[in-house]
Chains A and B, each alone.
Chain A
Amino acid sequence: MNAATLYGLCSAALVGLGLFGAIVHPQPLRKILAFNLLGGGVFLQFGVIARRGAAAGMGGDPVPQAMVITGIVVAFSATALAVTLLLRLYQVSGSATLSIETQSSSESDGGGR
């Protein structure tokens, strides 16, 4: 087994872990974290493809690498927007939950700050 295959298996595990966390965690912030984990796994998968495409004197195929750099920045933008939405939800409703029952009960007791 070479390094590319090893990190490929690692990335597969990361995607699974991220997916599991994003589904079962009730807190939105933990979902965002799990989503980033999932993204990290997908990016690493690109890295494996890039490494296997090493040719023409390059250590890896530069095209997937450039796409991952773009991806990391876009993932950060999405995370920043999601976090801000979450903080705003907390600001107006006094809670940061996606559950409908809890949300309506906190609205009825005034919530907010």
Chain B
Amino acid sequence: MRVLFDSFTVLAVSAGAVFFLAGTVGLLRFPDSLSRLHALTKADNLGLGLVVLGLLPQATGPLVALKLITVWLLAQLAGAIVTQLVARAVRRENQEA
């Protein structure tokens, strides 16, 4: 059972790392600021989600598991709002230019 949980953790956290990597590659390769924002929020959110999912079997109790999920939800909220604030600033700058 323990082995099953541990291998799940390794698998999910590695998959999460792959998405963080993909998000970073997108950040470097995508042509304009707004497209880069897509790369940053979506790939990284999924990456963090997978890391959290992978760590859930390692949690020592339901409260610790809930703490992990809370971290993910707060990161989602902040990511969604900040992305839009940056997007708005980019649009304003494009209009001025």
Direct contact of A and B (CB under 8 A): no
